Amino acid sequence: MTKMMAGNQPALSLNVANGAKVKDVIAAIEAGYPHIGELIHKKKVLVSVNQEIAHEDTIVHASDEVALLPPFAGGAGHPESREGDHA
Amino acid sequence: MNSAAAGSDDLFVRVQRENFSLDQELDRVRSRSTRIGGIATFLGVARDRSRGRDVDRITFEHYEGMAQKKLREIRERALQDFDILELLIIHRYGEISIGENIVLIIAGAEHRAEAFRACQWAIDELKQITPIWKLERTPDGEVWVEEHP
């Protein structure tokens, strides 16, 4: 879904400073792809850093792997908000 | 004894294109410990109906690396939090025809109650935290599914 919105690109190239926060990455995405930015703000699309769900203040380093994750097949919502859901 | 602590864990958490054999996977779990007295399984298969529409094909995509990582976490948490001896999780990706296997959870425990609990928890957790996406082909076109089980 996000891939299609970004013109079918599997990866995006964005300019953000080393040590920037996820919110800076989101701002850079928003500038080029406003629809994706909107979905991130609505938490329809989550941001992960190094394969863990990230927060706006998560720091991003040069070698980090950042990904945009549309809603999972199981209806993930926001995993971080499910405290107390554990068996 | 925590039989699951010993190696070869990769075979117990897999994201793969190819189908799997229930007999083979049950044997894999069973052979982990002679203390296992109850095995619970959950098998998810592709159905031809979804939200009132016919479905003739499903495609699963996953985030390589993160999907495996989340499944490993689920297995480790299940082994820690439930009184079970082994837990196996397999999820397929790619094109899957109606009726075919999609996902398999097998929990082996001394007694059935914990095997059932761990199995149910694991599939629920998988659906919540694993980056896997489902594309259904329907007569109205293709739809990415956000399912609420």
Tell me the C-alpha to C-alpha distance, in Å, between residue A13 and each of A61, A68, A83, B58.
Answer: 14, 13, 34, 31
Going by the DSSP 8-state scheme, the letter that residue B148 receives in this structure is: -
* DSSP per position, A11-39: S------TTEEHHHHHHHHHHH-HHHHHH
Interchain contact, B81 vs A82, CB within 8 Å: no
Residue-wise pLDDT for B27-78, tens only, equals 999 999 999 999 999 999 999 988 888 999 999 999 999 999 999 999 999 9
Q: Do B128 and A48 touch (CB under 8 A)?
A: no
Nearest CA in chain B to A48: B66
The rounded distance, in Å, linking the Cα atoms of B120 and B118 is: 6
Q: Round to whole Å and give the CA distance between B112 and B91.
A: 23
User: What CATH number belongs to B9-145?
Assistant: 3.90.1170.40
Sheet containing B38-45: order of strands:
B13-16, B84-92, B101-109, B38-45
A72: nearest CB among B77, B82, B133? B133
For chain A, give every domain's residue range: 2-71
Is there a contact between B82 and A87 if contact means CB atoms under 8 Å apart?
yes
Give the rounded percent of residues in chain A with a pLDDT score beyond 90: 40
Is residue A75's pLDDT more than 60? no
Q: What per-residue confidence (pLDDT) applies to A78?
A: 45
Amino acid symbol at A58: T
- Chain A residues touching B60 at Cβ < 8 A: 73
Instruction: Give the pLDDT band (50/70/90) at residue B110.
Output: very high
Put simply, whether the predicted model's pTM sits higher than 0.90 gets the answer no
Phi-psi region of B38 (alpha: psi -120 to 50; beta: other; left: phi over 0): beta
For B65, the token pair is 């690396």
Return the SS3 of B8. Answer: coil
- Which residue on chain A is closest to B74 by alpha carbon? A86
What mean pLDDT is reported for chain A?
A: 78
Is the pLDDT score of A12 beyond 70? yes
Residue B137: both structure tokens together = 């082909």
Contact B38, B110 (CB under 8 A): yes
pLDDT for res B9 = 80
What average pLDDT score do residues A56-79 get? 80
Is the Cβ pair B146, A73 closer than 8 Å? yes
If you average pLDDT over residues A55-65, what whole number do you get? 91
DSSP secondary structure of B33-98: -TT--EEEEEEEE--SEETTEE--EEEEEE-TTHHHHHHHHHHHHHHHHSSEEEEEEEEE-EEEET
CA distance B137 to B96: 11
* pLDDT band for position B25 (cuts 50, 70, 90): very high
**Tokens of residue B149, six digits:** 């089980």
The pLDDT score that the predictor gives to residue A43 is 85
Query: Who has greater pLDDT, B8 or B36?
Result: B36
Question: Which comes out higher in pLDDT, residue B36 or A28?
Answer: B36
Q: What superfamily would CATH give domain A2-71?
A: Beta-grasp domain (3.10.20.30)
State CA B75 to chain mean position distance. 10
Confidence at B8, pLDDT banded by 50, 70, 90: low
Candidates B82, B127, B144; nearest CB to A70? B144
